[in-house]
Amino acid sequence: MSVLRFLIPVLCLPAVLAGGPANALSAHEHGVASLNVALQGNSLAIELLSPAASIAGFEHLPATAAERQQLQQQREVLDGPLALFAPPAAAQCQVMARSIESELFADTAVAAASDDHDHDHDHDHDHEAGGHRDIRAAYSLHCARPAGLSWLDLSGLFRQFPDLQRLDVQIVGPNGQQGQTLTPASSRIAF
């Protein structure tokens, strides 16, 4: 995990300073997400930042059992990064650590546990709470053969999350820093 904590801030700093794709999330544009990728030696760090609507299909706190189930299914999909960010088999990459964060995920467990509480009593929490919510997923991979890592195929990401239409990518790797824009029709990162 220490590699992930080191690489992600290093990766994001140039884009933040330049006002590039890493800042795209601050505009909170549905259908658009940011992806930061860093390759150093055998370590590959990936960070996805997305409006919740692009991943979960909604941004409000889940209000029904169906919404909680949908959110849980999307979280489980995010738990499998090799299906979303597929490296070549020759690179022999395996997931070492993952972190998936969103206010929505934290509230799913609370909401499920409180389904049976009495709605007739006075309470201060707002079941209709709105606002823009985001999802952050970060992964640390170890690639036994980094020379075989010439690309990542993100077609699985676009297939799993059809509301995602554009991905602004920042890459730091052996060839320096570069930016790319990916879409469902053009979904491969080249290192």
> pTM value?
0.76
Tens digit of pLDDT for each residue in 9-61?
444 434 433 333 333 344 567 899 999 999 999 999 999 999 999 998 888 88
Instruction: Give the C-alpha separation, 37 to 178, whole Å.
Output: 10
Cα 77 from chain centre: 11
Nearest to 137 by CA among 68, 78, 80, 84: 78
Show the tokens assigned to 59.
């941004």
Alpha helix ranges (H) inside the chain: 2-18, 52-56, 65-78, 81-84, 103-113, 155-160
